[in-house]
Structure 1
Amino acid sequence: MTGQHHLRGVLLASLACMMWGISGVVASSLFTLNTHVTALWLSEVRMTTAGIVLLIIAQLIGAKPMRLWQHKNTAGRIVSYGLLGMVPVQLCYFEAVKFGNAPIATIIQFLGPFIISIYYFLFKHTKPTRPESVGMVIAFVGTFLIVTHGHVNALAISPVVLFWGFLSAIGVATNTLLPRPLFSTYGSLSVTGWGLLIAGLSLNFVKPVWQFHTTVTATEWTLVAIIIVFGTVIPFQMFAHSLAYILPTTATLLDAFEPLAATVFSVIFLSVQLTGFDLVGGTLIILAVMILSMNSRKLVNFFHRRRSTT
C-alpha cells in the first residue's frame, strides 16, 4: 500500500461524506415539504430500496451475495451490522434532523470518531496517533464553528435531539467497525447491500411501511430518490472502498465534510448567507485533511501493524 492509495482512500471517504451531507439537506427539505413524512418511513424506504439495488448489482457482477449466509459467524456479523450499524446511523440521524435540524444532528453525529478511538483504547489497547489526535481536534473545532457560529448558547439542544444524535454517533462507530472484516472476502456491494436490507426490513417490525397513510407528491418522491441514490447507494460504496486504504478513525474523521457540504448546498439552494465563522470552520476542516494526508506513510505502517495483530 502506498501514499497514493492512502490519498485515494481519503478522497473516497471525503466525497462519500459530502454526499451524506447533501442528503441531509434534501431530507430536511422533504420533512419541511411534507410534515407527515417520518424519519422511520424514510429510513425504511431508503434502506430497503438501496439494499435491494446493491444486492442485484452484486449478483449481476458475480459477487455471489448469498455466500455471506454460509457461515454462522459471518451471518451473525452481517445481522449485527444491519441492526447495530445501519439502523442508528440512518434512522437515528434522521430523527435528530426532524426533531432538531441538520447542523445540530451532524455535530452530535461527529462524535463517532471519538467513540472509535475510545473502543480501540479500551479493547485494542491502541492510543490514537498524533496526526489523528490533532486532526480530530481541528476538524471538531471547524465543525463547531460552522454549526454554531461560535455561540455556545445558540446550541439549544432538546433531550430528544441529544438522545437520537448520540445514538447516531454510536452508529457511525459500529457502522465502520462491524463490517470491515467482511469486505475483503465478500466485497462491499454484498456486505453493504445485506446490511441495508436487514436494517430496512427490521424497521418494518416497528411499523410496516404500508401502514403509513402518507400522500407523497412527485416532487417529494424525487427527493426520496436523490436520498436513495446519491445519499445511500453511491456514498456507502465509496466509503466502504475507502476502508481498504485508510484506518476507520481516519475515514470517520473525514465525516467533517458532511456539515461542510450541508452548509455549501444550503447557501446554493436555500439562500443561506455564509459568515466568517463558516469560512474559518471550512478552512479548519480542510487543514485537518491535509494533516492526515501528509502523514500517510506513518498511518499506512500503523495499519499494517494492526492488521497483522488481528
Structure 2
Amino acid sequence: MTQQHHLRGILLASTACILWGISGVCASTLFIHNRGLSAIWLTQIRMLVAGSILIIWAQLAHKRPLQIWHHRQSAWQVVSYGLIGMIPVQFCYFEAVRVGNAPIATIIQFLGPFIISFYYLLFKHVRPSRIELLGMGLAFIGTLLIVTHGHLNQLAISPAVLFWGGLSAVGVATNTLLPRPLLPKYGALTVTGWGLLVAGLFLMLVQPAWRQSVTLTGFDFGLLVVIILLGTVAPFLMFARSLSDILPTTASLLDAFEPLAATVFSVAFLSTQLTRFDFIGGSLIILAVMALSINMDKVMRRWRRWRQAS
C-alpha cells in the first residue's frame, strides 16, 4: 500500500464521516423548518431511495444483488439486519435529532462501540481490555456530564432525547454486528442496499408515507436530496472504498469527525446553544471511542522498540 493510497483512504473516510454529521444537521434544519414532518416519514423516504440506488449500483457493478434471496439463512439475516440494525440506527437517530439537536443525538449515538463491548462480555464471555475499561469510564463520565450538566439530581436534556439517542446507540451495535456474516459473501453494496430497502418497506407498512400530510417547499426538497445523496449514498460509497486503502481501525478512529461535524455545523448555521458540559462530555466520549479503536499492544511494542533503539 503506497502513501498516496493511504492518504486517499483517510480523505475518503474523513469526508464520509463529515457528510454523515452534516446529514444530521440537515435533518435538524428540516424538522425546524417543517414542523409537520415526522422522523418516520423522513427515515422511510431516505431508506427507500438510498437503498434502491445502492441495489441498482450493485447490479450495474455485476455484484448480483438478487442472489442474497436465493438462500433462506441469508434472507433471514438481511431481514434481521434491516429491522433490528437499520431502523434503530436511522429512525431512532432522526427522532433524537427531532426532539433534541444533531450534536447531542450524534454524540449519544457515538456510544455504540461500548454496547458492542458489553455484548461480547455478556454473550461471548470476552472480557474488555484495560484500554476498553478506561474508554468505558471516560464515556460514562462524558455521558453523565451531557445528561446532568454536573447536577446529578436533575436531567439537563429531555428524557426523550436520552431514550431515542440510547436506542440509536444500540442500533450502532446491531448495525455493526448483524451484517458481518453476509459481507464477505455478498459485499457491502448489496447487503447495505437490501438492509435499507427492508427497513424502509417495514416502516412504510407501519405508517405509509402517502397517508402522512407532508408539504415540502423547494428548500425542504433540497435538504431531503442532500440527506439522501450526500448524507447516505455518497458517504457509504466513500467509506466502503476507503477500507481498501486503510485499516478498519484507522477508519473507526476517523468516525470522530461525525460528531465534530454535527457540532460545528449546528453551532455555525443553526445557532445551537451548547454548554461547556456538552463540549467537555462530548470530547470525553470521542476520546473514549478513539482509545477503544487503538491497538494498545501494538503501540506499546513500538514504544519499547523505540526505547531500546534510543
Q: TM-score range by the shorter chain?
A: 0.7 to 0.9
Task: Give the RMSD, CA atoms, in angstroms.
Answer: 3.7
- 2:188 corresponds to 1:188: yes
Asked if 1:19 corresponds to 2:19, the answer is: yes
| Mapping for residues 1-310 of structure 1, pairs under 5 Å | 14-138=14-138, 153=154, 155-158=156-159, 160-240=160-240, 245-246=247-248, 251=252, 255-271=255-271, 291=291, 295=295, 298=298
Within 2, Cα distance between the matches of 1:142 and 1:10?
27
Contact 2:249 / 2:293 at 8 angstroms: preserved in 1? no
CA–CA distance in structure 2, aligned partners of residues 2 and 141 of structure 1: 40
What amino acid maps onto 2:125 in structure 1?
H
Distance 1:18 1:78, change over 3 A: same
Q: 2-side partners of 1:258 and 1:265: how far apart?
A: 11
Residues 273-296 of structure 1 show CA distances to partners (whole Å, capped at 9, x for unaligned) of 787667766765775576567637
Decide whether the 8 Å contact of 2:147 with 2:155 is kept in 1: no
Report how far residue 90 of structure 1 moved: 0.8
CA change 1:292–1:99 in 2 (3 A) is closer
Tell me how far apart the structure 2 counterparts of residues 203 and 184 of structure 1 sit (CA, whole Å): 28
Cα deviation for residue 20 of structure 1 reads 2.1
The aligned amino acid for 2:22 is I
Of the structure 1 ranges 183-192 and 161-170, higher mean CA displacement relative to structure 2 is found in 161-170
User: C-alpha distance in 2, partners of 1:293/1:2?
Assistant: 23
- Residue correspondences, number: 296
Q: Provide the secondary structure at the position in 2 that maps to 1:205.
A: helix
Matched residues in 2 for 1:35 and 1:8: separation? 40
Q: Residue type of the partner of 1:66?
A: L
Residue 302 of structure 1: aligned partner: none
TM norm structure 1: 0.79
Matches of 2:98 and 2:248, distance apart in 1: 32
The answer on whether the counterparts of 1:105 and 1:165 sit within 8 Å (CA) in structure 2 is yes
Percent pairwise identity: 62
**Residue 270 of structure 1: CA displacement?**
2.8
CA change 1:104–1:125 in 2 (3 A) is same
Q: Measure the CA separation in 2 of the matches of 1:196 and 1:11.
A: 25
Shift in Å, 1:272: 5.2
Secondary structure (helix, strand or coil) at the match of 1:66 reads helix
CA distance in 2, matches of 1:3, 1:131: 29
1:306 is matched with which residue?
A: none
- Name stretches of at least 5 consecutive residues in structure 1 with no aligned partner: 300-310
Deviations 1:18-74 (A, max 9, x none): 322211111010001010111011001100000000111111111111111111111
Question: SS at 1:180's partner residue?
Answer: coil
**Does the 8 Å contact 1:17/1:255 carry over to 2?**
yes
1:229–1:88 Cα change, 3 Å: same
Aligned CA distance change for structure 1 residues 23 and 151 (closer, same or farther; 3 Å): farther
Cα gap change, 1:39/1:286 in structure 2, threshold over 3 Å: closer, same or farther?
A: closer
Contact 2:110 2:285 in 1 (8 A): no
Gap change, CA 1:287 and 1:54, over 3 Å in 2:
same
- Asked whether the 8 Å contact 2:110–2:286 carries over to 1, the reply is no
Question: How has the CA–CA distance of structure 1 residues 64 and 288 changed in structure 2, closer, same or farther, with 3 Å as cutoff?
Answer: same
Instruction: Judge conservation of contact 1:81–1:179 (CA < 8 Å) in 2.
Output: yes
| Counterpart-to-counterpart distance in 2, 1:104 and 1:211 | 31
Between 1:46-55 and 1:13-22, the stretch displaced more is 13-22
| Alpha-carbon offset, residue 227 of structure 1 | 0.7
Pick closer, same or farther for the CA change 1:174–1:282 going to 2, 3 Å: closer
Q: Is the 8 A contact 1:105 1:161 kept in 2?
A: yes
